[in-house]
Amino acid sequence: MKKLPVAVVVIPTFNEVDSIGKMIDHLFTITFPKVKDYDCRVLIVDGKSPDGTWKKVEEKQKKFSNLDLLIETKKEGIGAAYVKGFRRAMEKHRASVVIEFDGDFQHPPKTIPQMLKEISAGADYVLGSRKIKGGSNPKGWGFKRLFFSEFGGFVARTILFFPTKTFFRITDPTTGLKASRVKGFVDTMEMDKLYSRSFGYKLEFLYQMIQLGAKVKEIPLQFGLRTAGESKIEPQTAKDIFRTVFLLRLNDDMTKKFIKFGFIGGFGFFINLFGLNLFSTLMLGLPLEVGIRNGIANALASEISIISNFTFNNLWTFKNEKLTLGKRMVKKFITFNLSSIVGGIIIPSLVVSVGTQFFGDHLRSLFLVLAIFCFTIPYNWFIYNKVIWKKKK
């Protein structure tokens, strides 16, 4: 008989004695028989629950051979529990798919066959979403919990992914119901140094899976109310999640690039300013009108700042896409110059011109600042990434 790929449903538990037995029974007798193309197993990672959840699991192990139990020495957070669970699923069970699942019936077990089907159909990462058609939050949730969930999800999504495609594609980033492909994803993920060992892990796994290029599929999740036990969400959970997404984004390669780009751009501005004064002073002896003199001085200074921007971005910001001396570099440098004229002169001049025409001369400086931040910076960032230092496929 052909050996089926293994899917491990990992369930972290802490004081879930009232629901874990029912959950195990339900999975093995109702859910798994519906799955034909996976060898389904359950792994409970228990934080040494004082209520003896693990004893209940040991009791069930006598009945179900595909039920594994890992007892932690103490409660270390849901994220830490999943890391241990995933490792065990890969090493001991040689899992092809790992599923994140709660032990309290808030995640409907019938989503498991659905998620596995999506994986078989080619998805690498299946997420249960409360935000798409067919998904929902528990009816009994009060305004506060609902607000935190909605607002937290939006903030997390924005900080992590804005303005990329993923921002629009991931509707429920804090969801805890997921199926992940192991090969090329979970086995490649960095799990040693997580920012959060608590609920923030969800965002870290999500972020890493996206970075690894996972094909995402969302399925509707009707998030239920707990049937028993208490939520382990604590007041500091929101802070933990916020801190985690912030650190992830800050250490993102793109963000680091953007900071370098901004730094070099700012430096370029000062070169321009300094150069204008320097050249203007040097040309004082020449028989020129003041306007002509400053015009020439600024043109020279601008070109130096363009050269500086090009050089430093090439050596630092885009060092991985570095252009080397040669024909290609000359071509790109010419494009860079033309584009700098568009982004640095034509666009701001248009904005200042149109803005002051409509809203008054007194707003001149405001429109310049607006033009730089709203148009020049995004424009340059786009051109640098997509044209000048475009990644080779």
Ligand X SMILES: Nc1nc2c(ncn2[C@@H]2O[C@H](COP(=O)(O)OP(=O)(O)O)[C@@H](O)[C@H]2O)c(=O)[nH]1
Examine residue 50 and say whether the peptide bond preceding it is cis (omega within 30 degrees of 0): no
- 């270390």: which residue's tokens? 76
> Any long-range contacts for 88-94 (C-beta under 8 Å, 24+ apart)?
88/43, 88/45, 89/8, 89/10, 89/43, 89/182, 90/182, 90/186, 90/187, 92/68, 93/6, 93/8, 93/41, 93/43, 93/68, 94/6
Alpha carbons 384 and 320: distance in angstroms, whole number? 13
User: Smaller CB distance to ligand X: residue 57 or 306?
Assistant: 57
Q: Which does 118 bind (CB under 5 to 8 A by kind): ligand X, Mg ion, none?
A: none
Which of 46, 68, 72, 102 binds Mg ion (CB under 5 A)? It is 102
Helix (H) or strand (E) holding 99: strand 97-100
Q: Provide the minimum distance between the beta carbon of 251 and Mg ion in the complex, in angstroms, as a whole number.
A: 29
Among 60, 202, 232, 257, binds ligand X (CB under 6 A): 232
Residues touching Mg ion, count (CB under 5 A): 3
Interface segment toward ligand X; rule CB under 6 A; list 73-81, 88-96, 131-139, 360-368 = 73-81
CB 224 within 8 A of CB 138: yes
> 12 touches which of ligand X, Mg ion, none (CB within 5 to 8 A by kind)?
ligand X
Contact set for ligand X, span 75-104 (CB under 6 A):
75-78, 81, 102-104
Q: How far apart are CA 46 and CA 81, in angstroms?
A: 8
CB of 77 or CB of 113, closer to ligand X: 77
The answer to whether 131 and 168 are in contact (CB under 8 A) is: no
Question: Of ligand X, Mg ion, none, which one sits near residue 75, judging by CB under 5 to 8 A according to partner kind?
Answer: ligand X
| Using rule CB under 6 A, residue 129 touches ligand X | no
Residue number, 139 or 393, with CB nearest to ligand X: 139
For Mg ion, the closer of residues 107 and 257 by Cβ is: 107
The verdict on 100 binding Mg ion (CB under 5 A) reads no
Phi, psi values for residue 220, rounded to 5°: -65, 135
CA dist 354 and 367 (Å) reads 9
Q: How far is the CB of 75 from ligand X (least distance, A)?
A: 4
Number of residues that bind ligand X (CB under 6 A): 20
Query: Whole-angstrom Cα distance, residue 194 to residue 189?
Result: 11
233 binds ligand X (CB under 6 A): yes
The reply to whether 106 sits near Mg ion by the rule CB under 5 A is yes
Would you tell me which residues interact with Mg ion (CB under 5 A)? 102, 104, 106
Would you tell me which residues interact with ligand X (CB under 6 A)? 12-14, 16, 45-47, 72, 75-78, 81, 102-104, 106, 231-233
